């Protein structure tokens, strides 16, 4: 059943030069070409009266030449006035052959296609495609299908592409057999693959091109469904492959360290934490490597779950590494893990870029010898000459998942065993989307907050009320509370953002004399940032002015007020993350979203969503609706999916049936699954794009 894809170079007329140009469009096989989606359609199926044309229309006309002349102005050009009885139009040619001028004699009947522009003496078409028609030549007046226009590249003409696509269509169904029957489709009235592809490239004259372009037409839905299915199958197959790899250490915690840690925690685990902990324990006790994503809202208590997994690893005689995206967070994790693990005689090392060379050498040594059982750091953990004695678990906080290549590199670092992996994210994505984008991972969710949290009251105010906002800070500080002021200006430039934060801090120092005001921004050295954050955490600073560097993970329970300046500039996920810095203690907390009007419609929606809910999963769902999945997952994620026809947002309703059918295919019709993966993802896999 596995089809061997026919290379485009096997088609007549495709030499190395043309093949190279097609490759620039990622077109290698006949199937690739058939899945190259038109970016628009032109209607050459009917003649349009000149009198009805407007500038910007692309139209087919049939008209008689009235006169033509070679005009000599700044540039020589051939002008040809035509008329069809409803109006007149000028054809303009700048580069022309002398014989062309002769052919456009008075009385000649022409059929032209081109874009209408407003010209000096009425409507014009510059360089229209045109042909002479014999008088009374009524047959074959026009095309019977809409004409596709493709995304192209230099040196590759629409005409060439259309011809190649035509040749490819003629090879159907041999070159692209339909693997799905009508019963396999979510809607049995959808066309089969051959018909769908023919409609995509040669829509019958009466087709609404909008439906094709926007993906509402059943032909496009049919193809999009197959594409989503193929991608999902490919991720599931990858997961199966990882599962069947028996190279991971079995971590059963013979020493019972995780149980000891559990019993000594100052709080009981939430039900969600206990559930996820059990899921991790089960995964890690197997020789197939764990690949698990932990989605948990800000403040849901992911760190302690990670600490329990680290204890379980160490209790099994292996090392655990925890990677954080910033020094600040790594340092905070280091402190938390030290607090929990050192009483259990577990040594925790911190590998930071900021540490001195001597320190670093000693820490590297401790990691290599296994003396340090747990290691915390930034991505430098996996880049440099860090060697582990026996790495059994890797936890990645607030990061996108590892790609295939990074996984292999990790395996090397771990001396050939495949470490278990836990990726944690505070940016939950909706369930259906997660199942599609993360089908190669198991997903756990911490969907419950530790008890005793006060809800955060969120208010939206215009910056014209800055004075009142400052009064509010004064009142909070007077009660012994702490506050954040987040500057969101000019993310693109760290210099300008730092400057803006410095100016704001200076203003606030004037307005709030007698209070201790600290400042952190991205231009400061890691040590300085850490000093300020440390002081804030210890209560030595009352108000912390910060750029968005504090976004992830920072935990200061006494801070109960957050002002987000220019809140309208940030996305929902980021605002939600920032807000999660408050509401961590016993006091009632407030988040003030201060905006500079006028607000765009989407900014208004974002701020309203935040005012309504604190539920990260609900916010993620709204984010999906407002922004669409591409933005939400980040370009890396959707780029990795590399969808050609489907759109995760528009076709979200297909994801559920895709999952079901993927299960059926993998179990019952594996060869079809293979063929679909090869057709849609084969290229990307061969060229190492996933």
The sign of the torsion formed by the CA atoms of 487, 488, 494, 497 equals negative
269 binds, among Mg ion, ligand ADP, none (CB under 5 to 8 A by kind): ligand ADP
In contact, 345 and 332? CB cutoff 8 Å: no
**Closer Cβ to ligand ADP, 270 or 621, answer by number:** 270
DSSP secondary structure of 350-414? EE-TTS-HHHHHHHHHHHHHT-S-EEEESTHHHHSS---SSEEEEEEES-PPP-HHHHHHHHHHT
Q: Which stretch binds Mg ion (CB under 5 A): 17-25, 306-314, 464-472, 553-561?
A: 553-561
CA distance 549 to 562: 14
Give min distance, CB of 298 to ligand ADP, in A: 4
In contact, 131 and 110? CB cutoff 8 Å: yes
Give min distance, CB of 300 to ligand ADP, in A: 4
281 binds, among ligand ADP, Mg ion, none (CB under 5 to 8 A by kind): none
In contact, 219 and 191? CB cutoff 8 Å: yes
**Closer Cβ to Mg ion, 128 or 553, answer by number:** 553
Q: Which position's Cβ is nearest ligand ADP?
A: 301
Using alpha carbons only, give the angle 382, 498, 514 rounded to the nearest 5 degrees: 115
472 binds, among ligand ADP, Mg ion, none (CB under 5 to 8 A by kind): none
**Closer Cβ to ligand ADP, 112 or 324, answer by number:** 324
Q: Token digits for 604? A: 């208004």
**Closer Cβ to ligand ADP, 249 or 616, answer by number:** 616
**Closer Cβ to ligand ADP, 60 or 426, answer by number:** 426
547 binds, among Mg ion, ligand ADP, none (CB under 5 to 8 A by kind): none
CA distance 685 to 678: 9
573 binds, among ligand ADP, Mg ion, none (CB under 5 to 8 A by kind): none
CA distance 150 to 167: 16
Binding site for ligand ADP (CB under 6 A): 267, 269-270, 273, 296, 298-304, 426, 450, 553, 555, 584
The sign of the torsion formed by the CA atoms of 202, 640, 679, 434 equals negative
Give min distance, CB of 398 to Mg ion, in A: 7
**Closer Cβ to ligand ADP, 325 or 642, answer by number:** 325
Give min distance, CB of 294 to ligand ADP, in A: 9
Give min distance, CB of 305 to Mg ion, in A: 10
Give 140's DSSP letter: T
Query: Is the peptide bond between 173 and the residue preceding it cis, with omega within 30 degrees of 0?
Result: yes
Check binding of 518 to Mg ion (CB under 5 A). no
**Closer Cβ to Mg ion, 553 or 585, answer by number:** 553
Give min distance, CB of 458 to ligand ADP, in A: 18
**Closer Cβ to ligand ADP, 445 or 567, answer by number:** 445
Check binding of 616 to Mg ion (CB under 5 A). no
Choice from 392, 553, 616, 629 touching Mg ion (CB under 5 A) = 553
Burial 52-61, CB ≥16 within 10 A → b, else e = ebeeeebbbb
List C-alpha distances in Å: 493 to 249, 489, 490, 547.
Answer: 45, 9, 6, 11
Q: Token digits for 345? A: 């005689």
Give min distance, CB of 551 to ligand ADP, in A: 11
Write phi, then psi, for 586 (nearest 5 degrees). Answer: -85, -25
**Closer Cβ to ligand ADP, 425 or 547, answer by number:** 425
Give min distance, CB of 453 to ligand ADP, in A: 8
In contact, 284 and 313? CB cutoff 8 Å: yes
DSSP secondary structure of 592-627? EEEE-SSPPHHHHHHHHHHHH---HHHHHHHHHHHH
**Closer Cβ to ligand ADP, 276 or 321, answer by number:** 276
Give min distance, CB of 316 to ligand ADP, in A: 23
368 binds, among Mg ion, ligand ADP, none (CB under 5 to 8 A by kind): none
In contact, 620 and 430? CB cutoff 8 Å: yes
Give min distance, CB of 553 to Mg ion, in A: 4
What does the binding site for Mg ion look like in residue numbers (CB under 5 A)?
A: 553
């Amino acid at each position: 059943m596995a089809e061997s894809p026919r290379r485009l170079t096997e088609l007549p007329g495709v030499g190395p030069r043309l093949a190279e140009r097609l490759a620039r469009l990622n077109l290698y096989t006949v199937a690739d070409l058939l899945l190259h989606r038109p970016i628009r359609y032109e209607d050459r199926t009917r003649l349009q009266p000149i009198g009805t044309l407007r500038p910007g229309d692309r139209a087919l006309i049939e008209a008689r030449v009235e006169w033509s002349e070679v005009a000599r102005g700044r540039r020589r050009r051939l002008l040809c006035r035509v008329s069809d009885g409803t109006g007149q139009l000028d054809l303009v040619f700048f580069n022309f052959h002398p014989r062309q001028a002769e052919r456009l004699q008075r009385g000649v009947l022409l059929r032209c296609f081109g874009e209408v522009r407003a010209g000096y003496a009425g409507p014009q078409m510059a360089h229209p495609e045109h042909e002479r028609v014999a008088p009374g030549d009524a047959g074959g007046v026009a095309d019977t299908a809409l004409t596709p226009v493709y995304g192209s590249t230099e040196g590759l003409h629409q005409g060439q592409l259309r011809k190649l696509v035509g040749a490819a269509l003629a090879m159907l169904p041999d070159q692209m057999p339909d693997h799905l029957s009508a019963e396999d489709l979510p809607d049995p009235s959808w066309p089969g693959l051959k018909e769908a592809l023919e409609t995509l490239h040669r829509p019958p004259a009466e087709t609404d091109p909008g439906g094709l372009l926007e993906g509402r037409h059943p032909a496009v839905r049919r193809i999009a469904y197959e594409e989503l299915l193929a991608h999902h199958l490919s991720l599931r197959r990858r997961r199966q492959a990882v599962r069947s790899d028996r190279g991971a250490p079995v971590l059963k915690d013979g020493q019972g360290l995780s149980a000891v840690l559990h019993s000594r925690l100052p709080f009981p685990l939430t039900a969600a934490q206990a559930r996820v902990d059990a899921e991790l324990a089960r995964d890690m006790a197997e020789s197939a490597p764990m690949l698990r994503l932990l989605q948990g809202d800000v403040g849901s208590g992911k760190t302690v779950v990670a600490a329990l997994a680290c204890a379980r690893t160490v209790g099994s005689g292996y090392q655990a590494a925890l990677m954080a995206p910033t020094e600040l967070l790594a340092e905070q994790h280091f402190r938390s893990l030290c607090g929990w693990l050192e009483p259990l005689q577990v040594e925790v090392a911190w590998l930071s870029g900021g540490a001195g060379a001597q320190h670093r050498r000693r820490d590297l040594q401790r990691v290599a010898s296994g003396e340090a059982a747990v290691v915390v750091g930034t991505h430098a953990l996996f880049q440099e000459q860090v060697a582990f004695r026996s790495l059994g678990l890797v936890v990645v906080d607030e990061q996108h998942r590892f790609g295939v290549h990074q996984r292999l590199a990790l395996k090397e670092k771990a001396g050939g065993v495949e470490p278990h992996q836990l990726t944690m994210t505070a940016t939950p994505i909706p369930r259906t989307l997660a199942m599609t984008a993360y089908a190669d991972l198991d997903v756990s969710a911490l969907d419950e907050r530790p008890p005793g949290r006060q809800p955060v009251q969120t208010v939206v105010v215009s910056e014209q009320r800055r004075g009142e906002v400052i009064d509010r800070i004064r009142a909070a500080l007077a009660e012994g509370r702490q506050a954040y002021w987040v500057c969101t200006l000019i993310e693109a430039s760290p210099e300008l953002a730092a400057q803006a934060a410095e100016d704001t801090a200076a203003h606030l120092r004037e307005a709030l004399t007698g209070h201790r005001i600290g400042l952190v921004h991205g231009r400061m050295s890691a040590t300085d940032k850490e000093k300020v954050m440390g002081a804030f955490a210890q209560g030595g600073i009352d108000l912390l002015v910060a750029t968005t560097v504090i976004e992830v993970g920072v935990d200061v329970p006494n801070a109960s007020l957050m002002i987000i300046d220019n809140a309208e500039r940030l996305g929902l996920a980021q605002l939600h993350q920032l807000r999660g810095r408050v509401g961590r203690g016993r006091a009632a907390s407030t988040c003030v979203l201060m905006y500079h009007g006028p607000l765009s419609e989407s900014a208004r929606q974002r701020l309203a969503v935040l005012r309504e809910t604190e539920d990260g999963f609900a916010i993620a769902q709204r984010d999906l609706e407002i922004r669409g999945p591409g933005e939400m997952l980040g370009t890396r994620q959707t780029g990795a999916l590399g969808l050609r026809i489907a759109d995760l947002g528009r076709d979200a309703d297909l994801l559920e049936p895709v999952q079901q059918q993927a299960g059926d295919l993998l179990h019952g019709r594996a060869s079809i699954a293979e063929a679909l993966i090869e057709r849609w993802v084969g290229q990307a896999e061969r060229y190492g794009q996933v």
